[in-house]
Amino acid sequence: MKDRSQFTSEIEDKLFPPKITLQIKGKLYFLDEPWVMGILNITPDSFFSESRFSKESGKVLSQAEKMIGEGAKILDLGGYSSRPGASEVSIEEELARVIPAVKVIKTEFPDILVSIDTFRHEVARLAYYEGADIINDISSGELDKSMIPTVGKLKIPYISMHMKGNPETMQAKTEYNNLEKDILSFFNEKLNQCKNAGINDVVIDPGFGFSKTIGQNYRILKNLSYFKTIKAPVLVGVSRKSMIYKSLDIQPQEALNGTTALHMVALINGADILRVHDVKEAIETIKLYKQIYR
């Protein structure tokens, strides 16, 4: 039986939820409402062809400007496709793709937050020195043991995603004792590692499509609020993924409507950041969500 103090605490949490913040290079950002992260793939082989951009600065800048104008808070730059079956990319090629893009975007749009989608600490480090603000690591340091210590030295936010194995083997690793508990245990361990390394701000990403079946992806989305128990911002990346287009028997190019539907579910269940290909539609979804719930 709950005592009076417990009831009071629960009521206060609902009326005055704790503020979610990220400290980035000496500036404190408040996630008073959900943010949108726009995907900029500097790759030739990402699963959604319209999200691919060459190293040509004009095309990258044009897409960056479009996403910023539509309301993106973060641009997520990646030079290594993590889709199943993607070609391996050397560190030299990944740097050649990512570093010029970071430079040109931060020169033209110095106030936009830039995230680097990489599992390699050297890419993270060099991108930081060119202006990157956040590191987005699909492996949470498992594919490069120097990643978490490096980010700790850089003192910038770290996005920790759940995945088992690597992009080549992950879809064969979908066995769990208890899906939600296993993933939560993974994040608790990673949060401790990050804290010990000096990382103060960690965002967690359940890793939709990584080491999960389609059914498991939907189960995680349905129970997303479970992951709010560890008091870290939650990022959701379902945009145009196979959990949508395979379920609807369509192609990624046709999956915007399904993406929008799942974005609303994610927001209702506690998502703090949406990682998306289509910024305008995600912003509109957030606006309608706020009309209902805020």
Name the H helices within the chain. 4-15, 57-70, 91-108, 121-129, 147-154, 179-197, 214-222, 242-248, 256-268, 279-293
Give yes or no: 275 in active site.
yes
Give yes or no: 4 in active site.
no
Please determine, for residue 6, whether its predicted confidence score (pLDDT) is greater than 60: no
Q: Are 239 and 278 in contact (CB under 8 A)?
A: yes
Total number of domains in the chain: 1
For residue 109, tell me if it sits in a domain. yes
| Domain enclosing residue 161, as ranges | 34-293
For residue 150, tell me if it sits in a domain. yes
Please determine, for residue 109, whether its predicted confidence score (pLDDT) is greater than 60: yes
Catalytic-role residue among 73, 164, 212, 275: 275
For 52-99, what is each residue's pLDDT tens digit?
455 556 889 999 999 999 999 999 999 998 766 666 889 999 999 999
For residue 119, tell me if it sits in a domain. yes
Q: Are 134 and 113 in contact (CB under 8 A)?
A: yes
Please determine, for residue 7, whether its predicted confidence score (pLDDT) is greater than 60: no
pLDDT of 48 reads 46
Q: How would residue 18 be classed by pLDDT, with cut points 50, 70 and 90?
A: low
Q: Measured between alpha carbons, how far is 214 from 171 in angstroms, rounded to an integer?
A: 11
- Look up the CATH number of the domain holding residue 59: 3.20.20.20
Nearest to 204 by CA among 190, 221, 220: 190
Distance of CA 60 to the CA centre of its chain: 20
For residue 28, tell me if it sits in a domain. no
Please determine, for residue 51, whether its predicted confidence score (pLDDT) is greater than 50: no
Nearest to 248 by CA among 214, 223, 278: 214
Structural tokens at position 162: 């759940």
For residue 14, tell me if it sits in a domain. no
Average pLDDT value for the chain:
91
Percentage of the chain surpassing pLDDT 90? 80
Please determine, for residue 174, whether its predicted confidence score (pLDDT) is greater than 60: yes
Please determine, for residue 108, whether its predicted confidence score (pLDDT) is greater than 70: yes
For residue 61, tell me if it sits in a domain. yes
Instruction: Decide the pairing of beta strands 202-205 and 158-161.
Output: parallel
Q: How would residue 121 be classed by pLDDT, with cut points 50, 70 and 90?
A: very high
pTM greater than 0.95: no
- Tokens 């992951």 belong to residue: 227
For 123-140, what is each residue's pLDDT tens digit?
999 999 999 999 999 999
Q: How would residue 168 be classed by pLDDT, with cut points 50, 70 and 90?
A: confident
The whole-number average pLDDT for the span 184-207 is: 98
Q: Are 236 and 273 in contact (CB under 8 A)?
A: yes
Q: How would residue 165 be classed by pLDDT, with cut points 50, 70 and 90?
A: confident
Catalytic-role residue among 103, 241, 290, 294: 241
Determine which of 44-48, 174-178, 204-208 has the lowest per-residue pLDDT on average. Answer: 44-48
Nearest to 220 by CA among 186, 190, 256: 186
Nearest to 61 by CA among 97, 19, 26, 109: 109
Other residues' Cβ atoms within 10 Å of the Cβ of residue 5: 8
The whole-number average pLDDT for the span 6-15 is: 52
For residue 22, tell me if it sits in a domain. no
For residue 1, tell me if it sits in a domain. no
pLDDT of 50 reads 54
The whole-number average pLDDT for the span 255-284 is: 98
Q: Are 283 and 248 in contact (CB under 8 A)?
A: no
For 273-285, what is each residue's pLDDT tens digit?
999 999 999 999 9
